[in-house]
Structure 1
């Protein structure tokens, strides 16, 4: 039985607030909580509306950005529009450009079955295995090339030439970053998976991060040269199934745009809202 969307949004807010706390320091600034990563490894986090707080003001945004600049952190904000609907106008008035990403939850009964992939297979990363560091580095390289930026925003579906050679040319992750990820995978917080072929190695990658019985699928990307072969869709389905089989009952993701959302809808996800991802608008030429 599907959960009411109002319950989903409450659970998502708790998830979003909990995810960074084991790897970041939380600083309350006005109506926001700014997550500041510990050390030099890991993802540079963002600011989100504080649980239970009033809609943040433009002054709050200015104060957070000032603090982010002091820290050398990205001036990044995230929130769910349906939970904090007035923040969109405030953010835009404060000079932020906002990406409106379809927010989707899995309909368990609609999840597609595992299907064979042409010339490839899906494999889950083993944090205890000797190849974990190499797998993680290749996965990160695939994501960088698939998203087209160092941090990634939304993957495209247009075929492009970057392939195994470009993947292997990117530098590997440092030992500290690998060990941090090893601990998170071993503890069940993260689950990584890849699509690989005997000839070309890792062609697609993705991960699932979990807090309690809620899990988010994120970072699903395919090498540009390997697109349009169903890798990302099947990898997403496999990650979702793995989460369900391990006690999760709410699986969600944020699609990069409406075209990507349509692909995920074919896997078994439905749109329930909009995830807002904001950063400073580029200066006019």
Structure 2
């Protein structure tokens, strides 16, 4: 297997680091299985083990999915295609039951790209901010995971914010009500932007772009030099490319229903 580009290897190392503060790991063949700790509110996955040199086989995929089922967690695998190119064909051979397989553009903000939030309608949230549950609820509603924007349990977020491992930004409509938000998880000089969403009533007002700019600014203030994200749709990809993000690879997400 040829050596992947250094920047993608750094992103893969970042992916390995992000879940560790709030969970445990188990090695299953060529995979690291991440297991969420109690009370986190998150569901984790398996990823190819860092430094893997051998090709992944269909039997390897079947083995890790079986272990996830045995543990009662979600059967899910995530990886960067350019870092582990043998995994996608192995998944397609191993998983013949109904499943979801997303191939998402991996977008990186080039060095020196400037994003400005001139809306005045976003705010970086502290660990005890009273809007934190409302922002978490609005983001879930924005992604269609909830029927309304009611406050939601914040889980371990305050602790992670306090430790500098999570940045949360709230977005507000013209009346000052919470209308969405987003997050980032800095680890060293890299941070992934995640969960950027706006309620339907507040879309087409630039709040998604403003939230993105606020997250990038907060991460850079914390010493981050590389910010990236994976876009789940062509529409989202085009939005972020207009902001200056550039395609660098492909983030793959496999989910097998129970």
1:165-184 matches, cutoff 5 A? 166-168=148-150, 172-173=152-153, 177=155, 180-184=156-160
* 1:180-195 equivalences in 2 (<5 Å): 180-195=156-171
2:122 is matched with 122
User: Contact conserved, 2:141 with 2:199, CA < 8 A, in 1?
Assistant: yes
TM-score, with length taken from structure 1:
0.82
Moved more, 74-83 or 52-61: 52-61
Say if 1:30 and 1:56, in contact at 8 Å, map to a contact too: no
Aligned length: 251
TM-score (norm 2): 0.90
Q: CA deviation at 1:56?
A: 2.4
Q: Deviations over 1:44-97 (max 9, x none)?
A: 111000012223222222222222222221111100011111211111222253
Q: How do 1:52-71 and structure 2 match up within 5 A? A: 52-53=51-52, 54-71=54-71
Question: How far 1:200 sits from its partner (Å)?
Answer: 5.7
Which protein has the bigger helix share? Answer: 1
Shift of the 49–252 alpha-carbon distance from structure 1 to 2, 3 Å rule, reads: same
Which of 124, 146, 157 matches 2:142?
146
> How well do the aligned residues superpose, as a CA RMSD in angstroms?
2.0
Matched residue SS, 2:157: helix
Whether the aligned pair in 2 keeps the contact of 1:49 and 1:55 (CA below 8 Å) is no
| Separation (CA, whole Å) in 1 of partners of 2:26 and 2:83 | 21
Aligned to 2:241: 265
CA–CA distance in structure 2, aligned partners of residues 70 and 40 of structure 1: 21
Q: How does 1:216-255 map to 2 (within 5 A)?
A: 216-255=192-231
CA deviation digits over 1:9-36, x for unaligned, max 9? Answer: 1110110111111111110001111001
Cα drift, residue 143 of structure 1: 2.0
Deviation, 1:206, is 0.2
CA contact (8 A) 1:206 1:217 kept: yes
Q: 98, 102, 115: which is aligned to 1:99?
A: 102
- In structure 1, what is the Cα distance between the partners aligned to 2:173 and 2:133? 17
Q: How many Å separate the matches in 2 of 1:172 and 1:251?
A: 27
Q: What SS does the aligned partner of 2:201 have?
A: helix
Q: Structure 2: where are the runs of 5+ without partners? A: none
Match of 2:44 in 1: 45
Cα deviations across residues 213-246 of structure 1 (Å, max 9, x unaligned)? 1111101011122111111111111111221122
Q: Is the 8 A contact 1:31 1:57 kept in 2?
A: no
3-state SS in 2 of match to 1:110: coil
- Equivalence for 2:79: 79
Compare 211-220 and 38-47 and name the one that shifted more.
38-47
Q: Using the TM superposition, give the Cα deviation of residue 281 of structure 1 relative to its aligned residue in structure 2, in angstroms.
A: 6.9
